[in-house]
Amino acid sequence: MAIFVTRGWSAGLLKFLLHIGIEPIFVAPGKPWMNGSIEGFIRLFSENFWERKRFKSKEEVLAEAKKFETNHNALQQGKLRKDDTRSVPSRRLNVDFHFDPNKVETKATKIHFIREVKSNGKIEVLNEEIDIGEDYVSERVWVTVDVVEHSLKIFHKEINADKFKEIKMKTKYKIENL
- In this predicted structure, what is the pLDDT of residue 9? 62
pLDDT in tens, the chain (178 residues): 566 665 556 666 677 778 777 788 777 766 655 656 655 666 677 777 777 777 777 788 778 878 877 877 777 666 666 545 455 455 566 677 666 666 767 778 899 988 999 999 999 988 889 999 999 999 989 999 998 899 999 999 888 888 999 998 888 888 876 6
Backbone angles phi, psi at 134, to 5 degrees: -70, -10
Under DSSP, the state recorded for 129 is: E
**What angle (nearest 5°) sits at the alpha carbon of residue 112, between those of residues 36 and 76?**
20
pTM over 0.85: no
Amino acid at 74: A
Alpha-carbon distances, residue 130 vs 23, 50, 52, 53, 103 (angstroms): 22, 37, 41, 43, 31
- In this predicted structure, what is the pLDDT of residue 88? 47
Closest CA to 153 of 97, 104, 113, 106: 113
- In this predicted structure, what is the pLDDT of residue 64? 81
- In this predicted structure, what is the pLDDT of residue 75? 73
165-172, long-range: CB < 8 A, 24+ apart: 167/132, 167/133, 167/136, 167/141, 168/130, 168/132, 170/130
Alpha-carbon distances, residue 72 vs 53, 78, 135 (angstroms): 17, 10, 38
Per domain, the residue ranges of the chain are 2-34+106-171, 39-87
- In this predicted structure, what is the pLDDT of residue 98? 67
